[in-house]
Amino acid sequence: MHKKAEWPRRLRSQEWYGGTSRDVIYHRGWMKNQGYPHDLF
């Protein structure tokens, strides 16, 4: 059986793209460099 997720759920993408740390800025910069549109974030 699957364990029920706690609410509110924190998505993995929020850790990658949703902050102001240096790693988050690198992830966003790489995605923008690959041509992904701004509204994707």
pLDDT at res. 13: 77
Q: Give the total number of structural domains in the chain.
A: 1
Are 3 and 27 in contact by the 8 Å Cβ rule? The answer is: no
The pLDDT-based confidence of 41 (bands split at 50, 70, 90) is low
Per-residue CA distances from 27 to 6, 8, 11 (Å): 26, 24, 15
Dump pLDDT digits (tens) for 1-30: 677 767 777 777 777 777 778 888 888 888
Q: Is residue 1 part of a domain?
A: no
Are 35 and 22 in contact by the 8 Å Cβ rule? The answer is: no
**Is the preceding omega at residue 37 within 30 degrees of 0, hence cis?**
no
Question: Domain of 24?
Answer: 12-41
Q: Is residue 2 part of a domain?
A: no
Q: Is residue 4 part of a domain?
A: no
